[in-house]
């Protein structure tokens, strides 16, 4: 039995294809129409700046509190939107006492476009004691 000298891995129908069809298939991407390079939407990078995070303190009024999820909303003077805060179970007693009162929060504060977006609360201190 003679060994083949050349192995043809192309399908049988390709052997009978016209030269035009072969040229069209040569330019076809095997995974469909996936581009070779992802498009760039913004060259300056100004719109896609990552948020800055730093340890800081915030002072405001707790307007909403969700004990089950460990989240709160804080109203801060000079900022239109309320700030989302997340906290650990150990802070439940302090934060329950702070609902509707002035409070200082310490933790990792996230900024986006020089506005406070959220805070991961490490410590809390109630300022209003009535």
CATH class held by domain 52-126:
mainly beta
Tokens representing 17 are 């294809």
Q: What are the distances in angstroms from CA 63 to CA 26, 68, 115?
A: 63, 16, 19
Structure tokens belonging to residue 82:
């309320």
Q: Which tens digit of pLDDT belongs to each residue from 7-36?
A: 666 777 777 888 888 777 776 655 555 555
Contact call for residues 101 and 87 (beta carbons, < 8 A): no
- Considering only CA atoms, which of 74, 114, 76, 82 is closest in space to residue 98? 74
Residue 108 confidence (pLDDT):
94
This prediction's pTM? 0.58
What's the sign of the alpha-carbon dihedral 82, 84, 120, 127?
positive
H-helix or E-strand spanning residue 63: strand 52-66
Positions in the chain short of pLDDT 70? 1, 4, 6-9, 27-51, 129-130
Q: Which pLDDT score is estimated for 122?
A: 94
SS3 90: helix
The structure tokens listed for 97 are: 């006492």
Query: Residue ranges of the domains in the chain?
Result: 52-126
């Amino acid at each position: 039995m003679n060994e083949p000298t050349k192995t043809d891995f192309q399908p049988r129908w390709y052997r009978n294809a016209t030269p035009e069809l072969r040229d069209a298939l040569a330019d076809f991407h095997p995974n469909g129409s996936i581009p070779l390079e992802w498009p760039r939407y913004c060259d300056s990078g100004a719109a896609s700046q990552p948020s800055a995070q730093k340890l800081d303190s915030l002072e405001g009024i707790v307007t909403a509190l969700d004990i089950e999820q460990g989240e709160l909303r804080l109203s801060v003077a000079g900022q239109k939107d309320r700030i989302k805060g997340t906290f650990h179970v150990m802070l439940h007693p302090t934060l329950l006492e702070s609902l509707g009162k002035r409070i200082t929060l310490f933790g990792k504060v996230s900024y986006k476009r020089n506005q406070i977006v959220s805070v991961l609360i490490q410590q809390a201190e109630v300022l209003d004691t009535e």
